[in-house]
Structure 1
């Protein structure tokens, strides 16, 4: 019986060479974009202690209850988790290495995250995020900066059809007042709540407002609005944020039901959403999390950030990515002396900034020329034993009607640059 082939884990995808151009384009765009705003790169481990996410994200959330990849390290009995998001890891790293000692920090990270969800377009079990975190800044200006950064990125990438929704969760005190009103309202409609909403009624009632169950829509639309329970400071913060966005020409909609899926948010929350990706319409989301640093073990520190889904953004920009340029030359060779000189030629051209593919393996000149043409290279460098003994190469244009020329290796780079 033949051995069964091993495939990738469901929902965890390979990124193939034909797809990598847009990934590399995006990654370079992100580096330039973050540098323009003064955000510095930080890289955290993929695996963290489980308690970090339970404490920060919230025990009664879909992520912690259903989606985390958690396991026990059999060497020491620790409960470990593949990171489902980056903010908690970033805060942990900032505290562990005392980065706030030198003042507020603008940081960004990128990499793989893991959630055990039903795979579908735009939602995978291993997915990639870029996140930005601004720690130590308390005013609405940093909230506005992070939102404006999103508007800037869409412009840099040529993305259209993305709109901004903003909201506010107020302070812990305002949420406590609202929580009481919300529970009272939902209890009056108990018979209409689905199983998930009934379970969360007393543990996390705000998350009920984020339900995707169409049968709950009428109840949700009639629920008390958190905006109506805001304390004065939260209201001033939110109004100032709106003022900055208007002054900077950033269009937005206020979504009073925007609650986000993690417990650590307070005050400003926002999402960049699109109708081009079906059900997975959120491409970037974030907000303020002033209590998280203290929850993870540090001193009370204001903070704000966002994360964007790389796969979702790439789905919006795939047609605007310029493919990577093909190699400049493909070196074909035949004969014992030619082989050694072909190695020298390829190295010589690479040292002078050319992309050069050296043919490896057997093959006639005719077969090698077919591979040279298929590579997309502009030129074939042809080396036989005669050329090798004379220290020369033949340069044949592959993409234009021009004569093949034979020159010394020392002249080749200058001739190719002029071509």
Structure 2
């Protein structure tokens, strides 16, 4: 833990002490040598001295840095965590301290906590009769970029499920980030045919894990497995006590919440013997601290279908493949175009997905299978075209690449005609199961 509190000085001392060993230490095996990589092997003394403590880094500081500065800082801290092999995940939020929000058809919200989520679900009219979308946030909404992205996703589901334009209750500041921009894009526009209120087609539940990650130390030391098991237990209770079948549960994880969603999916399967239908990862995050010899985070197989949108692989996000299908915006080693800082870049995945949720925009993000941006741009991609977002086909496999716009509308495809609903895909899948 001292590494977190005094990054520069402590690591410098460790590096100097390691460099001072001479003949006696040369008797160690080659394996031992390779396992004792020193920070000074890849960071200069000046860089180590200037590196701040993880406890002192705030979202506001990251927002005030350029993308390049933020990526550099995140990269340094990430590698220091990996070098210190004694650093283990140690932070697990209490279920009573994890806020949960139910979004109602009238735009009002019901707030509770993870402990009380199932009891509140049972009180919501017709809860679980249609698809249930569980959105796990990954950062606190003290950031304007986070608040804006989450608001867009909530608004998109409000329109998709209920045919309504309004967001959740304007008094709820969490989802009323003060934007005064005119509605001029597919991210904000509402197709005329969808303006009239429609029958309830789903339920949106927000697990605000991000609200508990108030500094980088908590974020980096989050115990993904234990936190995921806690959320997985709540999902099992939804099935057992609120009669919500697993085939209509769609878990959307944002950033570190995507990695937690994977652990939740595994816990759900262990306890029920069944898999969740879908987990969608919105810029799955780098994992800073993990236990040795334990695979952690999201991976294909954690749900019947796992899809991921990567928008900041050089910043907060990971380049590692985590799903059945992974979409890399502008290639595997790129940052979302138009983003001014690392927080905005990681939140772009949420913005892209929100745009695809809006009726008529499901096919805005056409992608092709490719393993590099060069392959994509030279038209050497292989296989069929696919659509990133809510319309992603469940039988897709592999890596896909696409270009996006720097500003909304982000998708480069023209708005499509009304597509089949996501619940329709669930229903077809359930019918197939019955027929088999």
TM-score range, shorter chain: under 0.3
Rg larger for: 1
